[in-house]
Structure 1
């Protein structure tokens, strides 16, 4: 299943995965790394890396990241409604606003619940569930899902 918003979805997922639990790294710990990330994607002004980290963490919590409490973004974010080629559109001058617009669009379209966080403690990767019945649990069945099923099978076999 493809969507006309696939590029936006992928951008949002990549942003949500700027924290890597497996490697123990966080791209948003460095203002220069955040600026480079934004520039590579042509998202306009980067804004503050700390604010971006808080927005990312709030989005991850909203998507159900295990062990997270609800996190509030730093403040309401300014966006504008404009007419692009005669069609109303939300726009932002900075990267954080653009990412929040993308998340908002998913919510308005009723597909925010497809943004999920892998439950594997060593992964916690954000992914977009494209399954027909929205039942996907793992970021990858070949990696995290296989590990969990193997671990459960070994546990049952020992009993």
Structure 2
């Protein structure tokens, strides 16, 4: 289910994480911009800003977002600083397009889930190969 499909879904998502919700329009714009930044050709890029401070804690410096969009951007910034930003990918399945984090050792994962999208694509490719073969007779 798309958390950003309705205002109530967005507010619930933010509340469950003890975050202050930005406007739904700002959240949708932020998601589109993030998706474009990781290579979704269907996403609309744009500059987006969100309030994130740096706090010095007993464990050291930490990003301290004040809104839900800020928390998502803080997580994206952590990935970039750690060099893991290229591991964020978009599932190529036309009926999916979910963003996912590639945890494979060699960063070669293509599908958000091999059990769902990858399996469907493999089954589709198998059916296409099977129908292309001439019948034996």
TM range (shorter): 0.7 to 0.9
* Structure-1 residue corresponding to 2:117: 144
Query: CA–CA distance in 1 between the matches of 2:118 and 2:7?
Result: 34
Q: How many residues align?
A: 132
Q: Which residue of 1 aligns with 2:4?
A: 28
Measured against aligned partners, the alpha-carbon deviations of 1:21-74 in whole angstroms (never above 9, x if no partner) come to xxxxx432432321111001112x1121110111111112222224334x114x
* Kept after mapping to 1: 8 A contact 2:33/2:43: no
What TM-score do you get using the length of structure 2 for normalisation? 0.86
CA contact (8 A) 1:80 1:90 kept: yes
Separation in structure 2 between the aligned mates of residue 100 and residue 122 of structure 1, nearest angstrom: 26
- CA distance in 1 between counterparts of 2:65 and 2:94 reads 34
Moved over 6 A (4+): none
TM-score by length of 1: 0.75
Q: Once superposed, what is the RMSD of the aligned Cα atoms?
A: 1.7
Larger radius of gyration: 2
Give the Cα–Cα distance (whole angstroms) in 1 for the partners of residues 71 and 30 of structure 2. 12
Give the structure 1 partner of residue 40 of structure 2: 65
Aligned to 1:133: 106
Contiguous gaps of at least 5 residues in structure 1: 1-19, 21-25
Indicate the residue corresponding to 1:5 in structure 2: none
In 2, the alpha carbon distance for the partners of 1:76 and 1:55 equals 8
For residues 78 and 27 of structure 1, the distance between their equivalents in structure 2, rounded to whole angstroms, comes to 21
Matches within 5 A, 1:1-159: 26-43=2-19, 45-69=20-44, 71-73=45-47, 75-85=48-58, 87-159=60-132
- Counterparts of 2:59 and 2:84 in 1: how far apart (Å)? 25
Q: Name the SS of the counterpart of 1:127 in structure 2.
A: strand
Between 1 and 2, higher relative CO (CA 8 Å, sep ≥ 6) is seen in 1
